[in-house]
Amino acid sequence: MEHRTMSRRRFLGASLGGAGAGLLTLSGCGTAEGSASAGSDHLSLWYWKGSLSDKLLATARRGVPGVPGLKVKGSQVPDGDIDSKVRTSLAARAYVPDLTVVNNDNLATFFPDEDEFLDLRDLGAESVRDRYLDWKWKACFTPTGRMIGFPLDAGPTALYYRRDLFERAGLPHEPADVAEQIPTWEEFIAAGRTLRRKAPGKPCLVSNIGNVFQQVLLQSPKQFVDADNRFIGDQEHIRRAWDLSVDILRQGLSARITDGTPDFNGAMSGGRVATMTTAVWAINGLKDTAPKTSGSWRLTTLPDGPCNYGGSYVTLTRYCREPEAAFAFLTWLLSPANQLESYQEMALFPTTPASYADPAMHKPDPFFGGQQPIDVFGPAAQKAPVVYFSPYEETANTPFFQELANVETLGKNPERAWRDAVNTAETALTRLGVS
Amino acid sequence: MATVLDPAGAPATDERRADRRGGSTPPGGRRRHVPPLLAISPFYMLFAVFGAFPVVFSMYLSVQDWDGIGDMRFVGLKQYGWLLKDSVFWHSVLNTFEIWFLSTVPMLFLALVLAFLLHSQVRFAGAYRVAYFIPNVTSMVAMTIVFGSVFAQAGLANALLRAVGLDGIGWLSSEWGIKASVSIMIIWRWVGYNALIFLAGLQAIPTEHFEAARVDGANSWQTLFRVVVPQLRPVVLFAAVTSTINGLQIFTESQVLFQSTDVGTTGGPGQEGMTIVLYLWQKAFKEHQFGYGAAMGWLLFAIIAVFTIINWRLVSGSDRDDRRPGIAGLLRRKGARDGR
C-alpha cells in the first residue's frame, strides 16, 4: 500500500519535472537558435502544395546537386496558413524556416519588417540577374532597396475566349485576328455586345466584372498606395478600371456570378460565358471545370496588353543557418533548366525567359484546339509592366472590390459605391499611417 | 437521497475524522493536498498557456499597433476609437444580430418541439436522437460546401421553390437571402444539440405532472406550453445563453460560403454576411492588424456580456414569485432598487 503511494508520487514528480524540463528546452531554443532546422543535417523550406516541384525537392532532400553536403527538406504548409505561420514563427523567434515561399500579394506585406529577411544582394544575387524577367526581379526589392525575394514563378495573363462562339457571332476568331481587332477594353466591350446579340445562347462576355477590374488594375504600374505611403486610389488609373467594369455591367454583358461557385462551374461548362481574363495558372482549373468545352477555347493577348497576375517568391529568413548554401540551392532550384522541369511537372510558369524557347514548352494543347499556350504567355510574361505594391494594398483595394460586387449583385448606384469605396479605404488607411 | 443532496458530504466527514484523530492540522495534512493538486495541475498549466495568457495578452494587444512581427507601438485607446467610427464594424454588428435573431428564435422553438416529440413514446427514439445530433459534429467546412450548392442560383433550394411554383431567390446575392442562408445553416447545426438539452430537462420533470395534465384533459399543445415550458425555465435559460454566445460568434458559415480567400468577396455581396468575428479575422489575420482585431474581440466580449445579462433577466424575470438565488435574482433585486 505504502509502496504504491510512493511510486505514484514519484511518478507524478517525475512527469512534472519532465514537463518543466520540456518547457525550459522550448524557451532555450528560442533565444539560442531560431531556425526550424537547428540541430539537423538539412535546411528547412516551407512551401504550399503545388508551389514547388516535388521531384526537385525530393532530389534536394537527398543532397543538392553542385553544393556538397547540403540537404534541403521541404515542408508543406496549407496555402491559406503559410503567411500567418511564417509571421507567428518570426514573432516567436523560434522554429523559423530557413527558406520560405511567399505569394505575390504577400511579399509587400513583409516590407515593414524587411530586416527579418536576408538581403540576397549580399549573397551575390546580381550575378544571376540576367537569367530572370526584369519586372519580376525588380519586384523582389523593398522600397529601401533590399532584395528580400527570389523569383519563383510568374503569372502572365491572356484573354481566354470561346472560338466557336466568336465565330458564330461573326467576330474575328483566330487568336492573331482577335489580338489585332480587339486591342483595347473598349473594343472588347463592343465585341461583347455582338456576342450577346448574335452568338447562340446569348452568352455573357465575362463571369463578373471584378475580374476585369483586377486586370485593368494590374496593367497599371500604379496601384492604390504609392511608394511614399500616399493613397492614390481615387485617381484616374483606378477610376478608369472602375468605369470600364461598370460599363460592362450596364450593357448587360456580365453573368454576375462569383468565380469558383457552383454557378460559375455551371456557366463555364454550359457556354454561358464566352471569355475569361486571367493568368496562366487558371488553365488547369478551367480544364477541370469545363472538360466538355475542350477544343473550343483559344488564347490571345489581353486587351490593352499583358500584365502579371500572381506568381511567387522564395525568401531567406534572418534565422537561416547557412545563407550562402541556401542561396546556392535557390540558384539551382530556380535555374532556367529546373524552371523548365517545374513547368512540365507542375505547370509553374518560368521566370527565366531562356526557358520559353525550349521545344518542351512548345507543345500543342488540345484543350485550346492545338494552340501552344506559350505563344501567348511567353510574350505576355516578357511585356508585363513593373508594378509597385505597397504593404497596405489589400487594406486599400478590398473596399473597391466589395463595392464593385455591391454594384453588380445588389444594384447599388455606381457613383455612391465609388464614393463609399474611397471613404472606407481612406478611413482604414488612416489607422495605418497612410494618408 | 441524502448523499445526492449533499455531494460535499464525503470529504467533509473525512476531514472531521482526521481532526478527531490528530487534533489541529499538522504540516503533513497540508502536504496531503499536494498529490491531488499535482494530478489536476496539467489542466491548469494548459489553461494558463492556451486560455488565460491569450485573454490577458489580447487585452494588452488592443492598446497596441502591431503587424505580428515588428515592434509594437502603444496607441492607448485609439483602436477602440477607430473601431467605434468604423462603419464596416457597425454593419457587421447589425448583421450579427440580424442573423442571430433569425437563427436563434426559430431554432430554440424547433428544438423544444423536437424534444417534446422525442420525449413521447416513439419507436427508434435513440436513432432519432443520434440523427438530430449528427449535424452538430459534422465538419462545418464540408457542410458549408454542400450548402453552397444548395443555395446556388441553380441549386437545390431554388429547385424546390420552383417545384411549388414560386420564383427562385438570390440566396447568396441578396441582403435577406444571405442572412436566411446563414441562419438556416445555423439552425440545421444547432437544433439537434438544443433538442437534446431540452430533452434532458423534460426527463427531469416528474411524470405525475404529465399524468395530472392528461387527467385534466389537456391536449399535447397545452401540455407543452402550460406544463413543460414553465418547468423548463432553467434549461431554456441555459439554451438561450449558450445560443446567444454562439450566435454572436458566427464565423465559419459566412467565411466558407463566400470564398473569403479572395479579397473583396469576404462577407458576400454588400458584406451582408459579414459578422463581427469574420471582420475580426479579416483585419487581424488577413490584413495583419492585430491590435485592431484584439480591440474588436473585447468589444464583442462586452456585447456578449450585456446580452447574456439581458437574456438572463428576460427568461428568469417573468416569474413573479421567483425565489431562486443566484446572479439573476441579484440583478432583479438591484434593478428593482435602481429603477423603481
Per-residue pLDDT tens digits for B28-71: 667 888 888 888 899 999 999 999 999 999 999 999 999 888 88
Query: Is the pLDDT confidence value at A162 over 50?
Result: yes
**A70 to chain B, closest Cα gap in Å:** 29
Which whole-number Å values give the CA distances from A120 to A41, A117, A128, A151, A320, in the listed order? 23, 9, 11, 11, 12
Rg for chain B (alpha carbons), in Å? 25
Helix (H, G, I), strand (E, B) or coil at B11: helix
- The tally of CA atoms less than 13 A away on the side-chain side of residue B133 is 14
**A99 to chain B, closest Cα gap in Å:** 17
**B71 to chain A, closest Cα gap in Å:** 9
B243 part of a folded domain: yes
The helix (run of H) or strand (run of E) holding residue A116 is: none
B13 part of a folded domain: no
- The tally of CA atoms less than 13 A away on the side-chain side of residue A174 is 2
Of B41, B70, B258, the CB nearest to A112: B70
The helix (run of H) or strand (run of E) holding residue A308 is: strand A308-316
d(CA A406, CA A268): 23
ipTM reported for the complex, 2 dp: 0.79
Q: Dihedrals φ, ψ of A159, to 5°?
A: -95, 115
A–B CB contacts, 8 A cutoff, strictly below = 105
B16 part of a folded domain: no
Q: Do A410 and B41 make contact, defined as CB atoms within 8 angstroms?
A: no
Of A113, A116, A394, the CB nearest to B287: A394
Query: Is the pLDDT confidence value at B268 over 90?
Result: no
Mutation for testing the B interface, residue in A404, A410, A427 having most B CBs under 10 Å: A410
Q: Do B269 and A409 make contact, defined as CB atoms within 8 angstroms?
A: yes
Interface of B with A (CB under 8 A): 35, 38-39, 41-42, 45, 67-70, 82, 85-88, 148-149, 152-155, 170, 172-175, 258-259, 261-267, 269-271, 285-289, 292
The pLDDT assigned to A203 comes to 96
The pLDDT assigned to B259 comes to 66
Mutation for testing the A interface, residue in B37, B153, B285 having most A CBs under 10 Å: B153
Host domain of residue B281 = 81-339
Q: How many residues does chain B have?
A: 340
Q: Dihedrals φ, ψ of A93, to 5°?
A: 55, 35
The pLDDT assigned to A14 comes to 52
- The tally of CA atoms less than 13 A away on the side-chain side of residue B229 is 15
B56 part of a folded domain: no
Mean pLDDT score across all residues of chain B: 82
Helix (H, G, I), strand (E, B) or coil at A72: strand
Search chain B and give the residue with CA nearest A19.
B42
Chain B residues in contact with A13 by the CB 8 A cut-off are 38
Per-residue pLDDT tens digits for A346-359: 889 999 999 999 99
End-to-end, the C-alpha distance of chain A in Å comes to 75
* Structural domains of chain A, ranges and CATH numbers in brackets: 43-154+311-361 (3.40.190.10), 157-309+378-430 (3.40.190.10)
d(CA B281, CA A26): 28
Q: What is the pTM of this model?
A: 0.81
Which grid coordinates are listed for A166? Answer: 466568336
Which grid coordinates are listed for A113? Answer: 519588417
Mutation for testing the A interface, residue in B288, B289, B290 having most A CBs under 10 Å: B288
B197 part of a folded domain: yes
User: Beta strand A308-316 with A150-162: parallel, antiparallel or unpaired?
Assistant: antiparallel
DSSP result, B234-287? HHHHHHHHHHHHHHTT--HHHHHHTTTTSTT-TTSGGGTT--HHHHHHIIIIIS
B114 part of a folded domain: yes
Helices (H), A63-155: 82-92, 104-107, 134-139
DSSP result, B197-234? HHHHHHHTS-HHHHHHHHHTT--HHHIIIIIIHHHTHH
Per-residue pLDDT tens digits for A352-400: 999 999 999 999 999 999 999 999 999 999 999 999 999 999 899 999 9
CATH number, domain of B143, equals 1.10.3720.10
Per-residue pLDDT tens digits for B205-243: 888 888 898 899 888 888 888 888 888 888 988 888 888
- Rounded to the nearest 10°, the torsion over CA A410, A414, A419, A424 is 30
Q: Do A113 and B69 make contact, defined as CB atoms within 8 angstroms?
A: yes
- If one counts the domains in chain B, the total is 1
The helix (run of H) or strand (run of E) holding residue B9 is: helix B9-22
B58 part of a folded domain: no
Search chain B and give the residue with CA nearest A427.
B86
Query: Is the pLDDT confidence value at B263 over 80?
Result: no
Q: Can you tell me the mean pLDDT for A151-158?
A: 96
Q: Do A263 and B67 make contact, defined as CB atoms within 8 angstroms?
A: no
Residue B89 binned pLDDT confidence (cut-offs 50, 70, 90) = very high
Chain A residues in contact with B85 by the CB 8 A cut-off are 427
Q: Do B154 and A262 make contact, defined as CB atoms within 8 angstroms?
A: yes
Q: Do A257 and B153 make contact, defined as CB atoms within 8 angstroms?
A: yes
Residue B7 binned pLDDT confidence (cut-offs 50, 70, 90) = very low
Name beta bridge partners: B64.
Answer: B74
Residue A397 CA to chain centroid, in angstroms? 16
Chain A residues in contact with B88 by the CB 8 A cut-off are 424
